[in-house]
């Protein structure tokens, strides 16, 4: 079982949750009775992140690992607040970050298995190094992206080549050109949940093309696979 809850985004699906530019989601994976909880990105502001998590019933101290997609402030801004509450997490980042204290930082270069069925694509892109998360499920691979600076289509091509069929893509798609829905369908992507930096034009195109397989994303969105 995989569950993803969006805890930080430019958009909010519920009025009591605060929207703000940036992205973070909480993932819980259960494989063979073992459960892992991780945070993918931390949004831009620690107070907003912790408040949204609390309102969504997620205990920041239960998080075992923080995976940072890339070192931009709208994804790393809440990290210090998380570490203050939970200094014993392991942080996986594609570049060095100042974590200090008892926190373990693992700099990711190559494709890496983080937990049962949860992988990092490795650091992609030549200018802005960014990793995406891949969760293997019975329905296919679930891909979570931060800003997708290396290009959403290139990231998904790599995931398809290295992991196989893609069931769902959730996260920032970074304002892809028109025709993105065609590209994703050509790659066999079943469902999309674009948010953060995807842009209105691309989101509308994806919604029209994917219909019932378009998942509205924003703070408060929960996806179970």
Q: Could you give the CA distance from residue 184 to residue 193 in angstroms, rounded to a whole number? A: 12
Question: Could you give the C-alpha distances from 125 to 20, 24, 94, in angstroms and in order?
Answer: 26, 21, 11
- Is 25 or 29 the residue whose CB approaches Zn ion more closely? 25
Q: Which residues here bind Zn ion, judged by CB under 5 A?
A: 72, 74, 147, 197
- Is 27 or 147 the residue whose CB approaches Zn ion more closely? 147
- Is 20 or 72 the residue whose CB approaches Zn ion more closely? 72
Give the position of tokens 């990711």. Answer: 108
Q: Could you give the CA distance from residue 185 to residue 188 in angstroms, rounded to a whole number? A: 5
Give the DSSP letter of residue 124: B
- Is 43 or 140 the residue whose CB approaches Zn ion more closely? 43
- Tell the smallest beta-carbon distance from residue 152 to Zn ion (Å): 13
- Tell the smallest beta-carbon distance from residue 24 to Zn ion (Å): 10
What would the DSSP string read from start to end of 6-26?
EEE-SSBSSTTSPP-SS-EEE
Q: Could you give the CA distance from residue 28 to residue 34 in angstroms, rounded to a whole number? A: 10
What lies within 8 Å, CB to CB, of 132 at 6+ separation is 69, 120, 121, 124, 143, 144, 145, 146, 148, 155, 159, 171
- Is 140 or 172 the residue whose CB approaches Zn ion more closely? 172
- Tell the smallest beta-carbon distance from residue 130 to Zn ion (Å): 7
- Tell the smallest beta-carbon distance from residue 71 to Zn ion (Å): 8
- Tell the smallest beta-carbon distance from residue 8 to Zn ion (Å): 10
Say how many C-beta atoms besides its own lie within 10 A of residue 98's C-beta.
Answer: 9
- Tell the smallest beta-carbon distance from residue 26 to Zn ion (Å): 17
HSE-CB at 175 with a 13 A cutoff on CA atoms is 2
- Is 119 or 173 the residue whose CB approaches Zn ion more closely? 173
């Amino acid at each position: 079982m995989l569950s993803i809850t969006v805890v930080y985004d430019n958009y909010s699906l519920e009025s009591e949750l605060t929207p703000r530019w940036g992205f973070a989601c909480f993932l819980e994976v259960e494989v063979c009775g073992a459960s892992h909880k991780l945070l993918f990105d931390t949004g831009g502001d620690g107070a907003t992140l912790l408040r949204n998590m609390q309102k969504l019933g997620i205990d920041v101290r239960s998080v075992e690992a923080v995976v940072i997609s890339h070192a931009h402030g709208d994804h790393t801004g809440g990290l210090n607040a998380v570490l203050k509450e939970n200094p014993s997490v392991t942080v996986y980042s594609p570049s060095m970050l100042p974590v200090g204290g008892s926190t373990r930082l693992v700099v990711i270069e190559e494709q890496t298995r983080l937990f049962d069925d949860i992988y990092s694509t490795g650091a992609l892109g030549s200018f802005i190094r960014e990793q995406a998360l891949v969760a293997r499920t019975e329905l296919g691979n679930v891909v979570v992206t931060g800003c997708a600076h290396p290009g959403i289509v290139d990231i998904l091509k790599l995931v398809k080549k290295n992991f196989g069929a893609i069931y769902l893509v959730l996260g920032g798609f970074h304002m892809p050109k028109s025709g993105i829905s065609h590209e994703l369908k050509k790659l066999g992507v079943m469902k999309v949940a674009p948010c953060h930096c995807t842009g209105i034009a691309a989101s509308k195109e994806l919604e029209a093309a994917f219909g019932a397989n378009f998942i509205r994303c924003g703070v408060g969105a929960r996806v179970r696979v």
